[in-house]
């Protein structure tokens, strides 16, 4: 009984992003930059973001 009560919220939480993408037609979140070794943020240029979109596996 305890496993069922644990699995229901887990199922709902993991299914919601899939519902948003496939039923509502929302796009997957996109990486907009990276964190450098010194802790600074470097944002991608539009060209790098376009290249990342084209090189996606899924």
Write out the chain's pLDDT in tens, 58 residues.
Answer: 888 888 999 999 999 988 988 899 887 777 888 899 999 999 999 999 888 888 877 6
Query: What pTM, to 2 d.p., does this model score?
Result: 0.45
DSSP count for the chain of H helices, then E strands:
2, 2
User: Residues 56, 57, 58, CA angle at the centre, nearest 5°?
Assistant: 95
Q: Spell out where the chain has E strands.
A: 33-35, 41-43
* Extents of the domains making up the chain: 1-57
């Amino acid at each position: 009984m305890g496993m069922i009560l644990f699995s229901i919220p887990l199922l709902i939480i993991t299914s919601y992003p899939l519902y948003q993408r496939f039923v509502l037609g929302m796009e997957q979140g996109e990486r907009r930059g990276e964190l450098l070794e010194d802790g600074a943020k470097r944002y991608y240029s539009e060209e790098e973001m376009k290249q990342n979109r084209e090189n996606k596996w899924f």
